């Protein structure tokens, strides 16, 4: 099985797919698209991904985009271990938890939004940082309310980690990037600690990617 992942070290959506691939023990090649330098608009990549975003997932020549769709596809091609529960109600709950980050919290802080805040509304770096910290904290607060209503046992949906845990861990990564203290979100902190104790999550973290290490050296 040949899998290529067009991603970027800092990309939260690429983290989700990296972690899902690791849980499935599926090897893949990651191709870096520097979305901070605008490489997502290069003609060659734009041909691959009409939305001009990462990740793009290529499986035996078949292209997919949107991290949640990709993770669901992984469950279809490699059913074990499951990333989404078999039970319909539990599966819908797992998707709902995932979409808090994928559809609601994460899109507010992506590069195109940050660029637009600067270009159209004159926001400076401090204002953009404050915007991002606000929306990342809102996402964490939502997860905290959800996890206090249905505590993780030990993962969000039960015994094994899946899409919900990946997306909650991804929200904590955003807190890492924006240097937000997650102590006010104890259920989220405990769940993400459990996740990042697993090598599948830890190795997928942005700070473990070669692109992060390269830019650290050149800074």
Ligand X SMILES: N[C@@H](CCC(=O)N[C@@H](CS)C(=O)NCC(=O)O)C(=O)O
Structure tokens at 203: 């190795």
- Other Cβ atoms within 10 Å of 119 Cβ, number: 9
Classify 83 as helix, strand or coil: coil
Per CB under 6 A, which region of 78-86, 104-112, 162-170, 173-181 contacts ligand X? 104-112
Pick the binder of ligand X from 12, 142, 187, 192 (CB under 6 A).
Answer: 12
Q: Establish if 178 lies at the interface with ligand X (CB under 6 A).
A: no
Report the alpha-carbon distance of residue 148 to residue 131 in Å, rounded. 26
Pick the binder of ligand X from 40, 142, 171, 192 (CB under 6 A).
Answer: 40
Report the alpha-carbon distance of residue 155 to residue 141 in Å, rounded. 18
Cβ 175 to ligand X shortest distance, Å: 15
Q: Establish if 176 lies at the interface with ligand X (CB under 6 A).
A: no
Nearer to ligand X (CB atom), residue 40 or residue 192: 40
- Other Cβ atoms within 10 Å of 205 Cβ, number: 19
Structure tokens at 57: 């997932």
Contact 138, 132 (CB under 8 A): no
Classify 17 as helix, strand or coil: helix
Nearer to ligand X (CB atom), residue 116 or residue 150: 116
Cβ 154 to ligand X shortest distance, Å: 25
Footprint on residues 46-85 left by ligand X (CB under 6 A)? 53-55, 66-67
Footprint on residues 105-164 left by ligand X (CB under 6 A)? 110-112
Q: Could you list the residues that contact ligand X (CB under 6 A)?
A: 11-13, 35, 40, 53-55, 66-67, 102, 110-112
């Amino acid at each position: 099985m040949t899998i290529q992942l067009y991603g970027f070290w800092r990309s939260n959506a690429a983290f989700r797919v990296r972690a899902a691939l690791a849980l499935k023990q599926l090897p893949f090649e990651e191709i870096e698209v520097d979305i901070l330098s605008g490489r997502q608009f290069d003609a060659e990549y734009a041909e691959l991904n009409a939305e001009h975003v990462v990740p793009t997932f290529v499986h035996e020549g078949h292209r997919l985009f949107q991290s949640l769709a990709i993770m669901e596809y992984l469950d279809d091609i490699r059913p074990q271990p499951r990333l989404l529960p078999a039970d319909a109600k539990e599966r819908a709950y797992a998707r709902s938890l995932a979409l808090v980050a994928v559809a609601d919290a994460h899109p507010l802080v992506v590069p195109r939004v940050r660029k637009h805040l600067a270009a159209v509304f004159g926001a400076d770096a401090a204002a953009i940082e404050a915007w991002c910290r606000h929306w990342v904290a809102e996402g964490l607060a939502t997860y905290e309310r959800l996890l206090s209503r249905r505590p993780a046992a030990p993962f969000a949906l039960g015994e094994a980690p899946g899409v919900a845990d990946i997306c909650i861990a991804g929200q904590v990564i955003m807190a890492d990037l924006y240097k937000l203290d997650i102590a006010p979100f104890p259920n989220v902190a405990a769940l993400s600690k459990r996740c990042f104790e697993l090598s599948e999550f830890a190795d997928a973290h942005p700070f473990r990617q070669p692109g992060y290490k390269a830019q650290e050296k050149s800074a």
